[in-house]
Amino acid sequence: MIYLNNAASSWPKPEIVRKTAAQALEALPVGQYRSSVSSDAEDILHDTRTRLGILLGVREPDRIFFSSGATESLNLILQGLQIPAAQIITTVTEHNSVLRPLYNLTGDAGQPVLLPCDRDGYVPPEALEKEAAGGKARVFVMNHCSNVTGSLQDAAAFGEIAHRYGLLFVLDCAQSAGCLPIEGDDWGVDALAFTGHKSLLGVQGTGGFWLRRGLRLRPLLYGGTGRDSVRLRYEDTMPPDYEAGTRNAPGIAALGAAASFLISRGLPHIAAAERTLRAYATEILSGLPRLRLLSVDGRPHGPVLSMVSDLLSPADLAYILQNSYGIVTRAGLQCAPLVHGAIGSGAAGTLRISFSPFTQESEIDALADALREILS
């Protein structure tokens, strides 16, 4: 089996991640503030936050909160801000983990302002400047790296514009965390969402968000936290808890191990290797008949490459690749419905391949051979 669907969930996981998850299940349970059985509990959570802080470029890792992934994090951020959708600017490149919360804010029939992207999936910073100058918006939410095209937005430029106009800057790093350098502090990010199971190489059901100190959200969940249990109502003057309920401690331990793995390899090195792999795939696939690659114009990309064919739909290509050649890809809208109109892929979406630090050139060669046979 050749696995080229790492933008959905990475596979395989590093050995240290697999071992750490297994060891966490063997060990006594971690009980955050609830038990003294495991003295390692706080260390696991603290160490994982610290390592993630390095990968996300934030100097206050204690402001990282764990969740089940980017979707829960973005829901918490976008609903928790309690700002009407009409005062929020976002982009057509977004995943439904941003779009659906914005279009379904409780008691709000408004819609967010959508910035366009070009045919390669890039949002021009001037578009934000133009909308922000109108003065109505209070928040800007942006996908750092598209899960459809791999297009990497200039987060620093957008952060500068957002703050010049007094907008909160929310950055969705679901697709970039773990495979691309991120500088949350330096880019002026106010809230940053990430997931553990993609390029961070952790397990599904892990992730979280970082929140700038002083920024306050209304929690989605209230419940046991293991501390201040007599407090029932959270008044506005009290710090809210964003981690109610029991955390996924084995998953967080595995995420911490994954973060160590990535730090030791070096994000710039990983990013360079995956850039080389994408360039290699672009080179050998661009010569195939009846196949059109999307977003291959030389600007910065994450480890994602989409394509369409005029012979077979993306769904058919993915089916044949998986069932006849043992190659796992992803087809369709990739849960980002609005970007396809801009990049010319239409209602059927794209066939997407995506890489990890474990992807080999020989696997790209096998994909190219299969596509050549199918499309010739």
Partner 1 sequence: MRIIEQRASIEVCTEAGWEAYDLLTEQPLSDEDIEALRHLGGSFLYLRQLRKPFFKLEAHNFILKGVRGDCFFRMAVHREHLAELDRVRNTFM
Query: Interface residues with partner 1 (CB under 8 A)?
Result: 316, 319-320, 323-325, 332-333, 335, 337, 347, 349, 373-374
**From CA 310, how far away is CA 293, in angstroms rounded?**
12
Q: Which is nearer to partner 1, 147 or 153 (CB)?
A: 147
To partner 1, the closest distance from the beta carbon of 240 in angstroms equals 34
**From CA 181, how far away is CA 56, in angstroms rounded?**
7
Q: Classify 140 as helix, strand or coil.
A: strand
Q: Which is nearer to partner 1, 27 or 335 (CB)?
A: 335
Q: Which is nearer to partner 1, 149 or 153 (CB)?
A: 149
To partner 1, the closest distance from the beta carbon of 298 in angstroms equals 31
Q: Which is nearer to partner 1, 303 or 332 (CB)?
A: 332
**From CA 118, how far away is CA 225, in angstroms rounded?**
45
To partner 1, the closest distance from the beta carbon of 319 in angstroms equals 6
Alpha helices in 293-353 (DSSP H): 314-325, 339-343
- DSSP state for residue 145 in the 8-state scheme: B
To partner 1, the closest distance from the beta carbon of 142 in angstroms equals 23
Instruction: Give the strands of the sheet with 291-294, arranged side by side.
Output: 291-294, 304-309, 350-354, 330-332
Q: Which is nearer to partner 1, 100 or 163 (CB)?
A: 100
Using CB atoms within 10 Å of the CB of residue 233, give its burial: 0 to 12 exposed, 13 to 18 middle, 19+ buried.
exposed
Q: Which is nearer to partner 1, 137 or 308 (CB)?
A: 308
To partner 1, the closest distance from the beta carbon of 267 in angstroms equals 30
Q: What are the two backbone dihedrals, phi and then psi, of residue 135, each rounded to the nearest 5 degrees?
A: 85, 0
**What distances in angstroms separate CA 53 from CA 46, 49, 198, 269, one per listed residue?**
10, 6, 17, 18
Chain position carrying tokens 């239409």? 346
To partner 1, the closest distance from the beta carbon of 304 in angstroms equals 17
